[in-house]
Amino acid sequence: MFNLLRFFSLVSAIVVIAVTTAMVILYNRHEMNRLIEFGEMENVALTRSFANSIWPQYSSYITSVQETGGDALRSREETVEISDNLKVLAAGLPVLKVKIYNRRGVTVFSSDPRQIGDDRSGNPNFIRALNGSPASDLIYRDDGAADSRDMISSYVPVHTSDGNVAGVFELYTDVTALLDKVKRTTTRVTVGLFTVSGMLFVLFLLITRYADRILRRQHGDIMAAEKRFRDIAESTADWFWEMGPDLRVSFISDRFLSDTGLSRDDIIGKTYQEFIGSEIMHEEPEKWRQYEETLKARRPFRDFEYSVNDQKGRRRYIRVSGNPVFGADGDFQGYRGAATNTTLRRLAQQAMHDAMEEAKHANMVKSEFLANMSHELRTPLNAIIGFSDAIITEIFGPMTGSEKYKEYIKNIHGSGKHLHNLINDILDVSVIEAGKLELSDDEVEFAALAEECMNQVKTRTDKNGVRLYCEIEPGFPKLIADERRLKQILINLLSNSAKFTPRGGVICLAVRLDADGSPVFSVADTGIGMSPEDIPKAMAAFGQVGDDRLRKQEGTGLGLHLCRSLIEMHGGTMTVESEKGKGTTVTVRFPKERSA
């Protein structure tokens, strides 16, 4: 229930604490500023004393130092002499460290030799001192000679007789005793302020007590509201949980029990390791290790997913979030949070995964069907080609009748051969996609293979008035590759160039070893080329570039795709460079292990 007395106590306490704390902070800040002003005055006086003794003798050395390494400055005789003089001057004084800077900001001298040579030109306090005004800070050090000491650090300018700043001293003086005195005074002021504020607080507390009694009558309504909240919490899809400081479950909503079929005895008083089980946790050890680190660090966590077996042994998936709970004195009291049953979502994800696997399987079945269909078509086509060959070559004697029949037979032969090549390409692609193509490792004399392939293409290039030639680097080794497939690659690439290179063009087959010993060959032509954005389409299966000049040429669009697949099966790569109207270069690289 709402407790006016408690509310007033809390609000009043906050106000009293806030106001009193603000007053203490303002007082402390005032005293600290006074301490810094006092320390700065002392440091300015000490600096003038040190400068009067040191500056006349060493001013020319200090002002002449350029940017140089600390080792060089530390080894200077002047550095040792300045150090000895300062030790004498600072004897009995609360001076912990002295630094001397020239106008360039170079640390010409420091009581801490490690800092000699440092560049302080960008330090705001140094810049202020260089402009003629001292600048100080209150600092605390717990390292080196100044262990657990409070100090005033002052940058003090050294003026020449004409009023110009010739250099800057930095002094660190010990004000630990003075600061302790300020702290003690601040403590007394704080106690006094809190005492007065406390008395006022008690006075108003007594006035408020009477009003608090009236509000107690509303306790019944508040309890009813709390019950309504519990009913709502139990009716949501989420459930709530609590763990004690020993990370054992101390509360769990009934919704969790109904979702899992577990009893309270299965959960209450147990750690998450005990009711989840080591078998499930060993499935994802890294995830559980991170979760345990989060709990040990007392950090909040969000959307942590795990699984648990229900009473019937079925896997249930849970997403849980939680926050650490701390007492008024900061002691850890456990965790509190909410959780959701994500089993249906996980099952939906699994169903989607299964559907994708089925789709992949269907794609494989499609490729296998295509392979079988190609085999079925190849047999009758072989017969067509064989019979037409017999007629064309007049194997049973000269043909009589019209020459038109012979022309028709030639057309039948050409069409059948074209379909035969088409089916061969489709069959090769389907076999590769099905992962059933096997390569043999032959020792291939590339020069002889190149000549054979060029001879097969030469009829077409000669007919079209295209120059075809080959350049093979001397000493090019034999290749370890499937000779039949390598020949298929070469003929495909040369035929492509022959198709798309107009009369007067040039096709070059260049063969060489790369810098790392990898075998490389390229087919370059001065054909019609294509734009860079069309290259990926040309490399895809059945891909044809949407150019009228390209579409006039026969083909299925399998050539480059098939070549790349065969090359990659050899462990190589194929790249295509092309420029519209200027030509195309296809480069094939085999790994150096393919050299015999």
Return the top range by mean pLDDT from 69-73, 218-222, 418-422, 522-526: 522-526
Report how far apart the first and last C-alpha atoms of the chain are (Å, whole number).
90
Tokens 């299965």 -> residue: 266
The DSSP letter of residue 115 is G
Residues 279 and 442: their CA atoms lie apart, in Å, by 52
Average pLDDT over residues 41-45: 86
Comparing C-alpha atoms, which of 88, 123, 89 is closest to residue 105?
A: 123
**Mean pLDDT, residues 11-15:** 80
Question: Token digits for 128?
Answer: 């202020």
pLDDT class of 341 with cuts at 50, 70, 90:
confident
Dump pLDDT digits (tens) for 319-335.
889 999 999 888 999 99
Residue with tokens 């300018």: 157
Q: How far apart are CA 466 and CA 458, in angstroms?
A: 9
Backbone angles phi, psi at 517, to 5 degrees: 90, 10
The answer to whether the CB of 143 falls within 8 A of the CB of 114 is: no
* pLDDT exceeds 70 at position 545: no
How are strands ordered across the β-sheet holding 573-579?
Answer: 467-472, 506-513, 519-525, 583-589, 573-579
Given a cut of 80, whether residue 429 has pLDDT beyond it is no
CA-based max dimension of the chain: 135
Q: Which domains are present in the chain? A: 4-183 (3.30.450.20), 238-341 (3.30.450.20), 349-433 (1.10.287.130), 442-594 (3.30.565.10)
Say if residue 25's pLDDT is above 60.
yes
Higher pLDDT, 259 or 180: 180
Residue 246: predicted pLDDT: 92
Contact status, residue 524 vs residue 501, Cβ threshold 8 Å: no
In the predicted structure, residue 257 carries a pLDDT above the cut 90: no
Say which residues have a Cβ less than 8 Å from residue 220's Cβ, sequence separation at least 6.
none
Compute and round to an integer the Cα radius of gyration of the chain: 46
Average pLDDT of every residue of the chain: 82
Asked whether the CA dihedral 426, 428, 429, 434 is positive or negative, the reply is positive
In angstroms, what CA-CA distances link 352 with 346, 358, 489? 10, 10, 40
pLDDT-derived band at 318 (thresholds 50, 70, 90) equals confident
- 216 pLDDT higher than 90: no
pLDDT digits (tens, 9 = 90+) for 59-76: 888 888 876 677 888 888
- Please report which confidence band the pLDDT of residue 406 belongs to, taking 50, 70 and 90 as the band edges: low
The answer, yes or no, to whether residue 578 has pLDDT greater than 70, is yes
DSSP string, 374-388: HHHHHHHHHHHHHHH
Condensed to tens digits (0 to 9), the pLDDT of residues 478-519 reads 999 999 999 999 999 999 999 999 999 999 999 999 999 999
Confidence of residue 229 (pLDDT cuts 50, 70, 90): low
In terms of pLDDT, which residue wins out, 574 or 380?
Answer: 574
Q: Check residues 477 and 548 and name the one with the higher pLDDT.
A: 477
**Using CA atoms, how far apart are residues 292 and 306, in angstroms rounded to an integer?**
13
- For Cα atoms 51, 52, 56, give the angle at the middle one, nearest 5 degrees: 90
Q: How far is 374 from 450, CA to CA, in rounded Å?
A: 29
Q: What pLDDT sits at residue 367? A: 65
- Select, from the ranges 218-222, 455-459, 574-578, the one with the highest average predicted confidence (pLDDT): 574-578
Q: Sort strands 506-513 and 479-481 into parallel, antiparallel or unpaired.
A: unpaired
Give the model's pLDDT for residue 551.
Answer: 45
Residue 237, pLDDT above cutoff 90: no
Dump pLDDT digits (tens) for 446-471. Answer: 999 999 999 999 988 999 999 999 99
Of the two residues 360 and 104, the one the predictor is more confident about is 104
pLDDT at 5: 65
